[in-house]
Chain A
Amino acid sequence: MKLWSTYILIFGLPLWTMVSSAYAGAIDVDIPENIFIDYMVELYEGVTLDHAMHADLFDCGSCHHHTTGARSLNDFCAHCHADSPASDDVSCSSCHEKNTGAFHCLPAGETASVYHIDKPGLKGALHLQCLGCHRDEGGPTGCQECHAFTSKGRKRFALEDLPRKN
């Protein structure tokens, strides 16, 4: 019995500390169940992202880079952000601009100009992140598997004379 408690003290305590600190950032914050992405409803209807399902299946860092406080999965980012703390706002739109207008890809600010010269806009960021992973993990990859056309979208894609599929 004494032996067991010693074992727990030697191995269990550091293990508990490691595990709890690794998940601290993720557990303490309020993780949304679903995220409705509707910032650009024009040609397509909004999309509901099952955030809880994705959070269960994948590391936070696989989508959120280093902003959740988890170690970045990208070695290139890890050069600077290996020990970066969690950001106050981890939503995609807090860094990736909704406005896909002119010069959004250009250097902004002193520090940004060093490494963050190629930050995609919000639409690009979402698609690159989602579709890249969906291809590897077998998620939906066809445009209309996620997006339903609005009537404007059907017109844009020359579909308005054709019968609706769904």
Chain B
Amino acid sequence: MAENTSRRTILKSSLAATMATLFFHVKPGTAHQVKKYPDSLGVLVDLTRCVGCRSCEAACNAEQGLPKPDKPFTDDSVFAQRHHGQKRRTDETCYTVVNRYNPPGIEHPLYRKVQCNHCQEPACLSSCFVNAYTKTPEGAVIYNPDVCVGCRTCMVACPFYIPTFKYSSAFAPRILKCVFCYETRLKKGQPPACVEACPQQALTFGKRDNLIKIGRRRIDEKKGRYVHHIYGEYEVGGTSWLYLSSVPFEEVGMNTDLPHQPILDSVKNFLGIVPMVLTIWPALFAGFHLLASRKEYAGSTQDYHDKEESQ
């Protein structure tokens, strides 16, 4: 009897402790300092310069050894393609795509290149529980397929919908996305293949800090040509890829509702509870189960004892 009471006391106190931890132990969110990468490289994309020639797509395909596309890169019918009403997205066969937009009020279309923006504080990296992602000092967000378990949380976490899953090999999970040509070029200080291929220099490669200066200069120098914002300077804590546009960014399909704080800041409190849940809940619910099945268990042992006695 004394044994039963003590077990109940333990369960009670553990339940109380869990509830207390869950409800009272929430740390107040402190201002998050985005890690500074003083030598971080980046690319400044000037949407007013892009002519939609898709040279960047072709260069990426060759550099990364991606499969041959269904249509040649000179075929501009791809701009009209829609998948579930959406314009083209990056997938396992292409790490970058150029999409066409027809913003109201301007005569000619605008083109926007889509690829990983290589965030300063990447949400994919924060969300990955096996640390498959790395932010390198050069600015690239790279991925290690050897440790990936294929949970695809990074795909949900990314505010730009960039990481894509190789569905053709689900048993050898692999996430595919732009890696800033890290191994082949960036590590050596060379620009990525897409930048080198761009005829219009719509893509300018350099140190992120300098690119911001250049961006401000273009906005100042060419009065009225650009909207007064460098997209990516502050979005989700800042990205290595930065954008200039002549029309508001939402008109070229960019999400302008993103916070200036890294995604990590919004989920930090919740993510802090996850390990606790993983350690406390199994013990807690095992205890509940034992408690609930105690009578049944006691009953069955009683029957056993009765049988033993009757024999």
Contacts and interface: CB of A to CB of B under 8 A. Distances in A.
A105 to B, nearest CB: 5
Given A120-B201, A127-B200, A106 B210 contact: yes
B69 A158 contact: yes
A105 B208 CA distance: 12
Interface in A101-118: 101-103, 105-107, 117-118
Interface string A33-70: 00000000000000000000000000000000000000
A76 interface: yes
A76 B219 CA distance: 13
A143 interface: yes
A116 to B, nearest CB: 10
A159 interface: yes
B199 A158 contact: no
B200 A102 contact: no
Interface in B147-201: 189-191, 196, 198-201
A124 B206 contact: no
A73 B121 CA distance: 43
Contacts of A162: 72
B178 to A, nearest CB: 18
B25 interface: no
Given A117-B213, A156-B62, A158-B58, A103 B189 contact: yes
Contacts, number: 73
Contact of B199 (A101, A105, A123, A144): A123
A156 B73 CA distance: 8
Interface string A119-135: 01101110110010001
Interface in B280-300: none
Contacts of B214: 105, 117-118
Contact of A102 (B49, B189, B201, B218): B189
Contacts of A123: 199, 201
B74 A103 contact: no
A144 B62 contact: no
A159 B207 CA distance: 35
Contact of A105 (B51, B61, B206): B206
A156 B59 contact: yes
B62 to A, nearest CB: 6
Given A100-B191, A118-B217, A121-B201, 9 more contacts: A117-B210, A124-B199, A127-B201, A131-B51, A135-B108, A143-B74, A156-B59, A158-B61, A158-B69
21 contacts: A101-B196, A102-B189, A102-B191, A103-B205, A103-B207, A106-B206, A117-B214, A118-B204, A118-B218, A120-B201, A123-B199, A127-B200, A135-B108, A141-B51, A144-B74, A156-B58, A156-B73, A157-B74, A158-B58, A158-B69, A158-B73
